[in-house]
Amino acid sequence: MDLLNTLVDKGLRREPLSRAEALAVLGTSDDDLLDVVAAAGKVRRHWFGRRVKLNYLVNLKSGLCPEDCSYCSQRLGSTAGILKYTWLKPDEASRAAAAGLAGGAKRVCLVASGRGPTDRDVDRVAGTIKAIKEENEGVEVCACLGLLSDGQAERLREAGADAYNHNLNTSESTYGEITTTHTYADRVDTVQKAHAAGLSACSGLIAGMGETDEDLVDVVFSLRELDPDSVPVNFLIPFEGTPLAKEWNLTPQRCLRILAMVRFVCPDVEVRIAGGREVHLRTMQPLALHLANSIFLGDYLTSEGQAGKADLEMIADAGFEVEGADQVTLPEHRAAGGGCGSHESRGGCGAHEDGGCGSHEGGGCGAHEGGGVCGSADATATAAPTAAPQAGEARTDLVAVRRRGAGTDLAPNA
């Protein structure tokens, strides 16, 4: 396709796409999907090789948020049966982080629900950052605490934070349909505060909330203008008990086209597959590694993810390698400017349910590992065939509330 050849050339030269070109990527057919993935994969490999950066989430404070973000299981009025707990102590957070780092993660993302931190909260998180960095040499830490007030980004930077995450989530024109307790401009302001403080800005989107192709292109172009080092791409987890529980609009093919569009628009930026990859990409997850160069390891904020061991096996089986702590994530021209990539510089993050760090609410697998009629005298009988799921069908069987790790007495998934 002439379009794809043009997009590859632009990606290798870091030349901006037009809106029409970005929309054309989203409008390609399933017959052309592998060609789209192959083309965007050339851009990904040019800037990031075959490395995959692993990030690990620690949910410092879960639930009880006063904001009304429609996608979030922690929102005001949510009846989702998630874990609810107040701030973890620094040593508890440090132990949780250590599990992810032992599993191969390079960056720890510290997330807390709420509109934004008080100054006391910033002090609390500063202590947690110091505890994690004292125990883990070279670790990158991203804070994800909601809307920032003046001076708070600077204080987090002084405490050792490398990055700050706050997602735009959707287009400015439709933002008011998703959230009413704060504005799109509030989110932009927080990303700009992080930039100004010398933190690596991490900001992304959520797909699958009923938006149009134009909305997706609008938000990705707005992100390009903000120039974050890291762009997490979330796929909505339609949690029961939230207003968007019935929004099952995504197919694996649609997710791959969205990731390809983001890669073409942001060719030299860390693109992270965040919440929802297990639910919506499903068996197509390995193909997505040809488009994104970063994922979360293990569980998310309020929902379970694929087993950490399975994540590592998937990366290896797809012919990729886990990025090491001594490797710089971003291309030289970005990293030299203090961008995400080296542990002493800035780095992206990626997961906050109500607008922070890249995994809007997690995304989790939760499917049964076994299946069948084990344990009965009739165990050898042939099980009744299960109908194959149809495109766009609700897959509530793939959504499981997190019951392990931070805030529990059970070992984390890492």
CB atoms under 10 Å from CB of 378, counted, come to 7
200-202 and 140-144 beta bridge pairing: unpaired
Q: Is-catalytic flag, 340?
A: no
372: left (phi over 0), alpha (psi -120 to 50) or beta: left
3-state per-residue secondary structure call for the chain: CHHHHHHHHHHHHCCCCCHHHHHHHHCCCHHHHHHHHHHHHHHHHHHHCCEEEEEEEEEEEECCCCCCCCCCCCCCCCCCCCCCECCCCHHHHHHHHHHHHHCCCCEEEEEECCCCCCHHHHHHHHHHHHHHHHHCCCCEEEEECCCCCCCHHHHHHHCCCCEEECCCECCHHHHHHHCCCCCHHHHHHHHHHHHHCCCEEECCEEECCCCCHHHHHHHHHHHHHHCCCEEEEEECCCCCCCCCCCCCCCCHHHHHHHHHHHHHHCCCCEEEECCCHHHHHHHHHHHHCCCCCEEECCCCCCECCCCHHHHHHHHHHCCCEECCCCCCCCCHHHHCCCCECCCCCECCCCECCCCCECCCCCCCCCCCCCCCCCCCCCCCCCCCCCCCCCCCCCCHHHCCECCCCCCCCCCCCC
The annotation places the binding site for [4Fe-4S] cluster at: 65, 69, 72
Q: Is-catalytic flag, 69?
A: yes
Q: Is-catalytic flag, 255?
A: no
Q: Given 44, 51, 72, 75, which residue is catalytic?
A: 72
Q: Given 124, 272, 346, 402, which residue is catalytic?
A: 272
Both structure tokens of 76 = 């005001």
Q: Is 78 exposed, middle or buried (0-12, 13-18, 19+ CB in 10 A)?
A: buried
Q: Is-catalytic flag, 109?
A: yes
The annotation places the binding site at: 65, 69, 72, 109, 142, 202, 272
The annotation places the binding site for [2Fe-2S] cluster at: 109, 142, 202, 272
Distance CA 208, CA 49 (A): 29
Q: Given 44, 157, 187, 202, which residue is catalytic?
A: 202
Both structure tokens of 95 = 């132990």
Q: Is-catalytic flag, 365?
A: no
Q: Are 173 and 215 in contact (CB under 8 A)?
A: yes
Q: Given 44, 65, 144, 402, which residue is catalytic?
A: 65
Q: Is-catalytic flag, 72?
A: yes
Q: Are 301 and 62 in contact (CB under 8 A)?
A: yes
Q: Given 142, 266, 340, 365, which residue is catalytic?
A: 142
Q: Given 44, 51, 69, 157, which residue is catalytic?
A: 69
The residues that are catalytic are 65, 69, 72, 109, 142, 202, 272
